[in-house]
């Protein structure tokens, strides 16, 4: 990917816009976080914006920077695996599936952060690449992702996850399960980037 194509790539442009929104919300701090966070009591009061806004606000600037950095890396490496429309559908449906999992299957009161949605997007890409490529690098990435989810749900969050660990792992699990289903849906485009070219 050339420098020019990076700056004009639609997936990357959307990722940059989301980054700006996420960082702006993180810098505003507690007032906006309390208004927008995913909370069980808020949803029971039919504050439906929390289904989406909770994934855009973060506990602190460190949490926000970590998530948007991963999002930008995913956009750079895997943005062209699916179209922007399909990535967007994965993000939207993944968000709702994470919300449903948190509400009905998890024993938590609140959730903030983009990491669950990022897990959905990444899982969809990896599953699709495993199906289409069958190369060693793809299988290693898939094994790492699976090991990470097993570790988190056995021992708790990874060390670099910060203070959000107890809540984040549920979002990660539901995101990965959603993304794996998305990745099973074939992509109609014939030409794809070879994953080995990224290494």
Model confidence pLDDT, tens digit, residues 111-128: 999 999 999 999 999 999
Rounded average pLDDT over 55-70:
95
Instruction: With H, G, I as helix, E, B as strand and everything else as coil, classify residue 114.
Output: coil
Does the pLDDT of residue 199 top 90, yes or no? no
What does the pLDDT read at residue 135? 78
Nearest partner of 16 among 66, 61, 76, 60, judged by Cα = 76
Does the pLDDT of residue 8 top 70, yes or no? no
Q: With contact defined as beta carbons under 8 Å apart, do 88 and 121 qualify?
A: no
What does the pLDDT read at residue 81? 93
pLDDT band at residue 154, thresholds of 50, 70 and 90?
confident
Question: Across the chain, what does the average pLDDT equal?
Answer: 88
What does the pLDDT read at residue 134? 77
pLDDT band at residue 195, thresholds of 50, 70 and 90?
very low
If 0-12 CB within 10 Å is exposed, 13-18 middle and 19+ buried, where does residue 43 land?
A: middle
pLDDT band at residue 162, thresholds of 50, 70 and 90?
low
Tokens 């600037």 label which residue? 61
What does the pLDDT read at residue 157? 72
Long-range contacts of residues 42-49, Cβ cutoff 8 Å, at least 24 apart? 43/99, 43/103
- Domain 3-198 class? mainly alpha
Rounded average pLDDT over 58-83:
94
pLDDT band at residue 190, thresholds of 50, 70 and 90?
very low
Does the pLDDT of residue 44 top 90, yes or no? yes
What does the pLDDT read at residue 156? 76
What does the pLDDT read at residue 95? 98
Q: Measured in Å, how far apart are the chain's first and last C-alpha atoms?
A: 13
């Amino acid at each position: 990917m050339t420098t020019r194509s990076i700056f004009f790539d639609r997936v990357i442009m959307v990722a940059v816009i989301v980054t700006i929104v996420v960082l702006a919300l993180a810098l505003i701090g507690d007032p906006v976080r309390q208004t927008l966070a995913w909370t069980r009591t808020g949803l029971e009061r039919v504050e439906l914006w929390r289904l989406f806004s909770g994934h855009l606000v973060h506990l602190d600037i460190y949490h926000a920077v970590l998530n948007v950095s991963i999002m930008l890396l995913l956009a750079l490496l895997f943005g062209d695996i699916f179209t922007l429309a399909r990535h967007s559908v994965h993000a939207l449906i993944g968000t709702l599936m994470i919300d449903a999992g948190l509400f009905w299957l998890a024993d938590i009161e609140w959730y903030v952060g983009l990491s669950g949605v990022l897990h959905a997007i990444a899982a969809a890409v990896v599953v699709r690449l495993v199906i289409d490529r069958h190369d060693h690098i793809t299988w290693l990435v898939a094994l790492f992702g699976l090991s990470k989810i097993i570790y988190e749900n056995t021992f708790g969050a990874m060390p670099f996850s910060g203070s959000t660990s107890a809540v984040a792992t549920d979002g990660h699990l539901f995101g990965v399960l959603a993304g794996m289903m998305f990745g099973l849906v074939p992509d109609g485009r014939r030409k794809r980037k070879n994953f080995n070219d990224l290494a």
